């Protein structure tokens, strides 16, 4: 079946540091890939998505590229802010509409 | 604000009881999904409805049931509640689930605590 593996957290960074959160997946066919973010006490918000190989999703300074050869969709941001502190979930849809999520990676950004 | 609403925000109840969670999708969305978020299981897909009909089922217990009404709102019914059912329950909606790029938008969730 489909699965998503994310790097374990928490990830603690200083403000303006570079962020990478690794995500790899297993799926049949050609899934769509997503990053969702969950701020404390809130629901899930779509951060970005990519629907085919080599697509780059981007939003609010975050980027992720759909790499079929390495089955990866790593999340990056050049300069994080304290307000980026949240839990980030990598997810995919494939062979149906349900989202399969990774375990989530908590990001803490300090001044 | 995603446009998906869920009520109530919090629910505290006792073991053995039955509760109903409600979800209103974004305007124009025909598909509704239910997910459970717990510390031990993470985010798990429960069930999907499309225009009133069940479309897909995930790891949903037999004690749980759902439906989507003609006005497209959905309810998730949880019965014979156990301590392990304590979790955050999310509803999501989307426009056209048959399209590969279709995106699900999530509500704020209902936090269920079973004592």
Write down the mean pLDDT value for chain B. 93
Contacts of B99 in chain A (CB under 8 A): none
What pLDDT score was predicted for residue A97? 77
The answer to whether residue A4 scores a pLDDT higher than 70 is: yes
Token couple for A67: 């790499």
Nearest to A98 among B42, B58, B108 (CB): B58
CB A25 within 8 A of CB A74: no
* B94: confidence class by pLDDT, cuts 50, 70, 90: very high
The answer to whether A40 faces chain B, any CB pair under 8 Å, is: no
* A42: confidence class by pLDDT, cuts 50, 70, 90: confident
Contacts of B97 in chain A (CB under 8 A): 97
- Span B36-57, mean pLDDT? 92
Q: For residue A101, how many other CB atoms are within 10 A of its CB?
A: 22
The answer to whether residue A41 scores a pLDDT higher than 90 is: no
The answer to whether residue B78 scores a pLDDT higher than 80 is: yes
Write down the mean pLDDT value for chain A. 93
- Span B47-72, mean pLDDT? 94
* B109: confidence class by pLDDT, cuts 50, 70, 90: very high
The answer to whether A44 faces chain B, any CB pair under 8 Å, is: yes
| Cα–Cα distance, A86 to A13 (Å, whole number) | 12
What pLDDT score was predicted for residue B73? 97
The answer to whether residue A18 scores a pLDDT higher than 90 is: yes
The answer to whether residue B100 scores a pLDDT higher than 70 is: no
* Cβ contacts of A10 within 8 Å, gap of 6 or more: A105, A106, A107, A108
Condensed to tens digits (0 to 9), the pLDDT of residues A43-94 reads 899 999 999 999 999 999 999 999 999 999 999 999 999 999 999 999 998 7
Residue B44's φ and ψ, nearest 5 degrees, are: -125, 135
Residue of A nearest to B55 (CA): A97
From the list B13, B85, B77, B96, the residue with the least C-alpha distance to B44 is B85
| Cα–Cα distance, A7 to A105 (Å, whole number) | 7
């Amino acid at each position: 079946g489909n699965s998503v593996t994310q790097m374990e957290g928490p990830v603690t960074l200083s403000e303006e540091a570079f962020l990478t959160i690794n995500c790899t997946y297993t799926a049949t066919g050609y899934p769509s890939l997503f990053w969702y973010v969950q701020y404390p006490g809130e629901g899930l918000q779509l951060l970005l998505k990519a629907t085919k190989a080599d697509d780059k999703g981007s939003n609010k300074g975050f980027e992720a590229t759909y790499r079929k050869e390495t089955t990866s969709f790593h999340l990056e941001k050049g300069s994080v802010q304290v307000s980026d502190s949240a839990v980030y979930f990598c997810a995919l849809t494939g062979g149906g509409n349900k989202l399969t999520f990774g375990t989530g990676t908590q990001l803490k950004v300090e001044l | 604000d995603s446009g998906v609403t869920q009520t109530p925000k919090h629910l505290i109840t006792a073991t053995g009881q039955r509760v109903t969670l409600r979800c209103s999708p974004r305007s124009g969305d025909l598909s509704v999904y239910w997910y459970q978020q717990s510390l031990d299981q993470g985010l798990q897909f429960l069930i999907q409805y499309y225009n009133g009909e069940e479309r897909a089922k995930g790891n949903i217990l037999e004690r749980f049931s759902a439906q989507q009404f003609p006005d497209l709102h959905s309810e998730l019914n949880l019965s014979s509640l156990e301590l392990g059912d304590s979790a955050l329950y999310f509803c999501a909606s989307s426009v056209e689930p048959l399209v590969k790029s279709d995106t699900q938008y999530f509500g704020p969730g209902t936090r269920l605590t079973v004592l």
